[in-house]
Chains A and B, each alone.
Chain A
Amino acid sequence: SYQLTQPPSVSVSPGQTASISCSGDKLGDKFVSWYQQRPGQSPVLVIYQDNKRPGIPERFSGSNSGNTATLTISGTQAMDEAAYYCQAWDSSKVVFGGGTKLTVL
């Protein structure tokens, strides 16, 4: 079955740019969505179809090419500290990445 791989953790200083990767075989041929999950809360959609924002701040952006999709957070704020999950669609099934814990130091 299809797999998505994310780094377990990423650290960033406030105001800097954070990049979270998601890799999978020929992932660029699929669309990728991203979800933010703060502790104790339900996930929230932040990016869909690689780079579309559903009414969330413009500092969140996404890209997808080759075998890697990337979620980029510009001007990272303390409130962005959360777990982030990528998601794709393969053979009529949903696939999630293992999640990345973003720490804003």
Chain B
Amino acid sequence: QVTLKESGPVLVKPTETLTLTCTVSGFSLSNGRMGVSWIRQPPGKALEWLAHIFSNDEKSYSTSLWSSLSISKDTSKSQVFLTMTNLGPVDTATYYCARIVETGSAVLTTYFDYWGQGTPVTVSS
């Protein structure tokens, strides 16, 4: 059974750094054409992809947020981490981690087959 669970602070002050942890079970972070992504959703708004890391340690970041994001993993602990620096009120959102699967041959694609329950983060002084 595949599960993902996010954890981290609920309240963060402006300009501070946020570190979120995604703990996975039911699959390995070192095998296969899969990995973990972070996605966020401000209240009442759409999903926004932030970053992903694959089993081969390949990483990618949102074009608009790349300078403030860092993703890493600890395979032995089945954990993926997201660090976001210099937070502002616009970063208030529910943050999800999801398993990303890469598939295809001539045309590559990805999709998210399992999601965590999400963790709310409020940025306020």
Contacts and interface: CB of A to CB of B under 8 A. Distances in A.
Interface stretch (B25-33, B84-92, B103-111): B103-111
Interface residues of A, number: 26
B117 to A, nearest CB: 6
B111 A33 contact: yes
Contacts of A87: 111-112
Contacts of B103: 49
B16 interface: no
A31 B107 contact: yes
Contacts of A48: 111, 113
The prevalent SS among residues of B at the interface is strand
A45 B109 contact: no
Count class of interface residues, chain B: 20 to 34
Contacts of B122: none
B96 interface: yes
A57 interface: no
B49 A93 contact: yes
Contacts of A89: 108-110
B107 A45 contact: no
Interface stretch (A11-19, A68-76, A95-103): A95-103
A93 B113 contact: no
Given A88-B109, A89-B108, A43 B46 contact: no
9 contacts: A1-B64, A35-B47, A37-B47, A42-B118, A43-B112, A44-B115, A85-B46, A95-B49, A96-B46
Given A29-B107, A49-B104, 18 more contacts: A1-B63, A35-B47, A35-B112, A42-B116, A43-B96, A43-B98, A43-B112, A45-B113, A49-B111, A54-B113, A85-B47, A92-B60, A93-B62, A94-B37, A94-B39, A94-B49, A94-B52, A98-B46
Interface of B: 37, 39, 46-49, 52, 60, 62-64, 96, 98, 100, 103-104, 107-113, 115-118
Interface of A: 1, 29-31, 33, 35, 37, 42-45, 48-49, 54, 85, 87-89, 92-99
